[in-house]
Structure 1
């Protein structure tokens, strides 16, 4: 449970970074690209004594990990486009509701629940989806919430939902098939980060050449505050999955709901964000959902 709690805390630290970036005029795209370099250095520093990082291109998991790195950045870019064109509400719901994909794969494809799910557990999963929807709902008056949504733009939140859920499901699959120990976890995670580095730097280089970006030195500082918790949140999530035998059906709902609950508390205390009645009901249901999903481990 320690690794799961740490992953939740570190994930909220990421949200705090993104919330503060506009206040300090940080270029978010540049900070995200450079943060993967920081992620790699952080992971390299955590390599067990006597181990070194190397890439075996003949191994299946290497290509899966590199592909996941590409998926991380692509999903982020789609989230940004969806937020701008469709709205925050639809994008936020797409991100959080995507937990049903890795949970479903864990239960019905990977068979990694670790224990039989009973009626209370399934009720908790359903309640978790409802809780996520209510706790992230915000009524907006932006462009994305108007009645007319043109063309393919309406598919953006759908793409976010599918890709975010698919990457989490693939992470769970790799954890089950290719990460038998904590030592291997670092190697696999570094390979994923390397895929994100190559993709991000290529995107940044193209934008700089085209004159779409002007590099900012403050992005380097922001990348450090973003990169360290970014790597550690992902690493501790993998360790949590390992600790629970790859049981994504247990880990992912608690992780997602835990992030929502803590982020809501931090937002209310430090940013004076107000919660609607729907948000408050959602947060209350989230607590009940956690209890139902994990009651075997809590009693």
Structure 2
């Protein structure tokens, strides 16, 4: 169930971004508030929160700084792409990154692999190629660059998360880990806000605060439940299933919320996504 909760929460993120464009929300301002809310939730949800000194001496602490920078940077890019390209293409570019942590799990953590899992990876990649349609509001070269940045940046981010969870994060420290990660993302975001304000961009509005708060709740839940899933199942199954599940769920939500049209090619690709999830998870979860 934790994996399902993570999938639903992540799919909500992509679709909330679409409302930013509709209601003229300042993306950076809302993202910064989102990380403040997610950080606060990470610290108050557990029954007790260890001291700053405890966290500072944990081997994962430095990586929360690096991940915080990656989170706020990629989140902005993801929001921009969701608005200017389309939700399904952006979701796919961000979620095909399962290749990185999955390969890490098999190569470095001795996780099992089999013919069905390999076949599932191939089907997943096919579905991703099929579902990408050129409906970008950007020049083609800019769209390709954004997609590549999302792919490689997301791959590095998920690999660091997986490695941290496998080696350093104790089960009771999951929320604490994200508390500091989101806090550093918030700090980097504030620096970006100050810089943009110097350049003449608007200050934080009530509208930005509202949508940032709305974004922060599923953002916290998506990452918390993802790491909890990694405690129960191998990463070589969790990341592919989570990412393909998000593609399916976010596309369905975009149809329900924004009346997005599903072409025959995209419908076939979504069918491939379902097949890929079944193949990859057959021995580990089903």
Q: Same fold (TM over 0.5)?
A: yes
- Which stretches in structure 2 are left out of the alignment for 5+ residues? none
Contact 1:14 1:230 in 2 (8 A): yes
Output the CA distance in 1 between the equivalents of 2:134 and 2:153.
25
Instruction: Give 1:3 deviation, angstroms.
Output: 0.4
**2:113 maps to 1:117:** yes
Contact 1:75 1:163 in 2 (8 A): yes
Output the CA distance in 2 between the equivalents of 1:79 and 1:268.
19
- Based on CA coordinates, which of the two structures has the bigger radius of gyration? 1
**Which has the higher mean CA deviation after the structures are superposed, 260-269 or 74-83?**
74-83
Contact 2:17 2:79 in 1 (8 A): no
Output the CA distance in 1 between the equivalents of 2:92 and 2:250.
15
- Relative distance call for 1:6 and 1:224 in structure 2 (3 A) is same
Q: How does 1:14-163 map to 2 (within 5 A)?
A: 14-49=13-48, 51-55=49-53, 56-79=55-78, 93-111=92-110, 113=111, 116-135=112-131, 137-140=132-135, 142-145=137-140, 149=141, 155-163=145-153
Q: Give the RMSD, CA atoms, in angstroms.
A: 2.4
Figure out how many residues of one structure are paired with residues of the other and give that number. 284
**2:160 maps to 1:173:** no
Output the CA distance in 1 between the equivalents of 2:89 and 2:261.
19
- Relative distance call for 1:27 and 1:53 in structure 2 (3 A) is farther
Contact 1:84 1:144 in 2 (8 A): no
Aligned to 1:228: 217
Contact 2:25 2:208 in 1 (8 A): yes
Output the CA distance in 2 between the equivalents of 1:239 and 1:68.
18
Instruction: Give 1:241 deviation, angstroms.
Output: 0.9
Give TM-score scaled by structure 1 length. 0.86
- Which stretches in structure 1 are left out of the alignment for 5+ residues? none
Give TM-score scaled by structure 2 length. 0.90
Instruction: Give 1:298 deviation, angstroms.
Output: 5.1
Contact 1:97 1:133 in 2 (8 A): no
Instruction: Give 1:23 deviation, angstroms.
Output: 2.2
Q: How does 1:257-296 map to 2 (within 5 A)?
A: 257-296=244-283
Aligned to 1:252: 239
- Work out which of the residue numbers 210, 213, 222 in structure 1 matches 2:199: 210
Contact 1:106 1:249 in 2 (8 A): yes
Instruction: Give 1:292 deviation, angstroms.
Output: 0.7
Output the CA distance in 2 between the equivalents of 1:17 and 1:82.
13
Contact 1:79 1:157 in 2 (8 A): no
Aligned to 1:7: 6
